[in-house]
Structure 1
């Protein structure tokens, strides 16, 4: 048995979850950080136009998330099959799935780039871009679409790397791309000249001297270029990993030929995260258009854009735990070791709930300070402080829901995974965003978030309890046979 497979089968759950989750969590945190940095630099570079610039990225970002979610659906679905195949010691099938993941990425990224470029303006209008926001959103998204293949390749193949238990390489991929993005951002966004960092100095209580920097002064478009170049770097790192022979899986060109059974199973399993992200994008369409009516337009959209970034920074560590959890659950489910499946899920729920509570405290206590890092616009800061404190009220419940949905992805149960993934956004949040503003105006929009989190938690709780009972019975049957 390969060393990584032995660890998935025999290592203590606590140590194993830490080994696999810590790199993923660090990588996800850095990814969230560079998404924050993009918005911070754009907000500071555009000055009096910071609201429109931030709102432009906020409108374009959900479309970028759809591209990423398709890649994640392919990667997570494929990695679930790969983990179970490795647990069954079926290397040929695992390698066949890896080849099909790559071919699916190449096909879908080409379609997305062409279709997105043709229909970019109506798509952005649909997502709530006003006349003042549209130029900034177009600048950002037009560049991102051309880099779709690199985004999708890096995300999908990173999940394949995790499926074989090599979490450190997946972490290095995210670290490399994130660091490249953070380094390139100021060069592409700012003009040449002295750059003041007062917005950081005021918060940190230190003196930061102005720094002379040679820059291209591309603003929002510069942020997108830096992001694409960062993803190119990440994709090249993954290519090096597989070409170097460090992977337990081998690439064979014959496996690039798409196979319907593999594609169908991968996509059906990956429909959970795809539904979650797609429903999130649908939610943005609804929410931005509701904000145009009840929130007055650009400022309210920018508020949600910043809060969304802050939420991502809170959620990303939880997704890091989930990424470490999935190969453990998938491998041991394939090996019919159901006790380890339950033990690893329970531990992950405890860890993610702790993370959610810490995020809740941070966002509840310091919303004004966090918003002021992005902009000096006092209306945006004041509105953001009020909205954030409402939206985070049920945040401590999110950790449980995230792990519960990932359980079904890892064991290959597509329907319950799909249901839980879409429950928060599609079943609960969107209807509440439409209904509540009729009674509470703009406050109703922000109230929809904690209410939907609470309802999604209750649904997940019922389903997970039922699944634990099934796993326990299956484990007892194996012991008695």
Structure 2
């Protein structure tokens, strides 16, 4: 494999080559989640609410596994840029073993805390039962989520985003088959409800681990790795954790933010608005999909070129990705706003759910561009091995400001749950100005601009 594939060539073409497969894969991953939501809607509104309540807990798992993967990509891509093959191999094998250790810790923590987490959100009755049924199964499959993040991080560091795309596409179609089997008990299977949604997800992740490992072996990434290099290294663990923990905490803060949002929704409205919010998040994810690949592209390109000290290419990748992202999200705004009610109605026939979801989306569209500006900037900082800022802006955006703004808009100003939606808008745009200012400061300090 050409280790220097991101150190030369047209930046625009490299961004397209990396981001399009990644975005395509995430499209099918989101459709995977949409399929789960559709089937849950066939069960009941309580099942939809249960999935929405589960999402923050589920996202914490994704946050820590994907965060470690992002850290591994940043550090491996830097070593590739330096052409230090021995160090690349050590980081590869240690990122895999570390992912297995992480999965065990997450499983134990989840078992101990999941009930208390749902109680804090005010979950009760049938919605609580559905949420617990889902998460209790998901926790058995954490090892596969963690392994997939590690294996994908290795491939991404080399600039290869296609295998993960292929896994997500295949996983989508497999999930379409497994969901009804497990949820409704077709062909003699026991009827499992939302626990069946979780079991299908875990099964797909297990298949993905086998596929990605096979692809890495086929590409020769493991070629030349000796027995002495397989031994776990505390030093390399520490280096990966140093890059990965800030990214993981940033993503975990998103889960915490969802927890806060769910809390205030339950405070001002109720289970039907929770269900509406869960549906609207799926729609929002679809709208954001074309830009998700930009984060992957920026991290890999910046990481390799920072290692090779090709600073002009870093600025070009950052600027180009921002322009592409804003253009795409502006188009998405023009599509989602007028069709918000129809989009929510695709998932639920409940009139109150449809109205609440459409209200959220018609405010949230004005926040769409913030996700591009924030995520591309944070990816660039991670590529520069400056991941710490992500933690602070995550805490600001997901915890500190929401806890202050939501009650101010919702209670003091009397807007209720609509105040939560406008609170998200205000918090995100303030975070954008802070993040871009900090990114420009780091770029100037490094001589990139």
Moved more, 267-276 or 335-344: 267-276
- In the other structure, the counterpart of 2:387 is 414
Contact persistence 1:272–1:409 (CA under 8 A): no
Where does residue 243 of structure 1 map in the other structure? 217
2 CA distance for matches of 1:264 and 1:103?
13
CA contact (8 A) 2:99 2:150 kept: yes
Equivalent in the alignment of 1:444: 419
Aligned match of 1:269: 243
| Alignment partner, residue 118 of structure 2 | 124
Structure-2 separation of matches of 1:303 and 1:425: 20
**Pairwise CA distance, 1:319:** 2.2
Residue 341, structure 1, aligned to residue 314, structure 2:
yes
Q: Which runs of 5+ in 1 are unaligned?
A: 193-212, 476-481
Question: In the alignment, is the contact (CA less than 8 A) between 2:315 and 2:448 conserved in 1?
Answer: no
Q: Report how many aligned residue pairs link the two structures.
A: 447
Change (3 A) 1:452 1:256: farther
1:280 aligns with 2:254: yes
User: 1:294, 1:441 within 8 Å by CA — same for their partners in 2?
Assistant: yes
> Given the superposition, is the C-alpha separation of residues 149 and 253 from structure 1 closer, same or farther in structure 2, using an over 3 Å criterion?
farther
Q: Tell me the equivalent position of 2:197.
A: 223
Following the alignment from structure 1 to structure 2, what is the Cα–Cα distance between the partners of residues 67 and 251? 30
**Aligned partners of 1:246, 1:384: CA distance in 2, in Å?**
48
Q: What is the TM-score of this pair, normalised by structure 1? A: 0.87
Map of 2:20 onto structure 1: 22
Greater alpha carbon shift after TM alignment, 328-337 vs 99-108: 99-108
CA 1:158–1:405 in 2, change beyond 3 Å: closer, same or farther? same
Query: In the alignment, is the contact (CA less than 8 A) between 1:94 and 1:249 conserved in 2?
Result: no
Partner in structure 1 of residue 429 of structure 2: 454
2-side partners of 1:15 and 1:284: how far apart? Answer: 36
**More off after superposition, 8-17 vs 109-118:** 109-118
* Structure 1 pair 454–118 and aligned structure 2 pair: CA distance change class (3 A): closer
The CA distance in 1 between the partners of 2:167 and 2:77, in whole Å, is 20
Contact 2:89/2:222 (CA < 8 Å) preserved in 1? no
How far has the Cα of 1:265 moved from its partner?
2.7
> In the aligned structure 2, how far is the partner of 1:77 from the partner of 1:249?
23
Question: Among 178, 187, 190, which residue is 1:184 paired with?
Answer: 178
CA RMSD of superposed structures (Å): 2.1
Q: Report deviation, 1:423.
A: 3.9
Instruction: Tell me the equivalent position of 1:405.
Output: 378
Q: Structure 2: give runs of 5+ residues left out of the alignment.
A: none
Matching residue within 75, 83, 86 for 1:89: 83
TM-score (norm 2): 0.93
Contact (CA 8 Å) 1:405, 1:420: kept in 2 or not? no
Are 2:330 and 1:357 aligned? yes
- The residue aligned with 2:342 is 369
Shift in Å at residue 225 of structure 1? 1.0
Contact preservation (8 Å) 1:99, 1:252: no
Question: Is 2:357 the counterpart of 1:384?
Answer: yes
State how far apart, in whole Å, the 1-side matches of 2:225 and 2:419 are: 52
Kindly provide the CA deviation profile for residues 372-419 of structure 1, in whole angstroms up to 9, marking residues without a partner as x: 111111111111111221222222232111101111111101222333
- Of 145-154 and 386-395, more deviation after overlay is shown by 386-395
The more displaced of 359-368 and 8-17 is: 359-368
Q: Give the match for residue 195 of structure 1.
A: none
Within 5 Å, give how 1:132-147 maps onto structure 2.
Answer: 132-147=126-141
Mean Cα displacement is larger for which, 155-164 or 338-347? 155-164
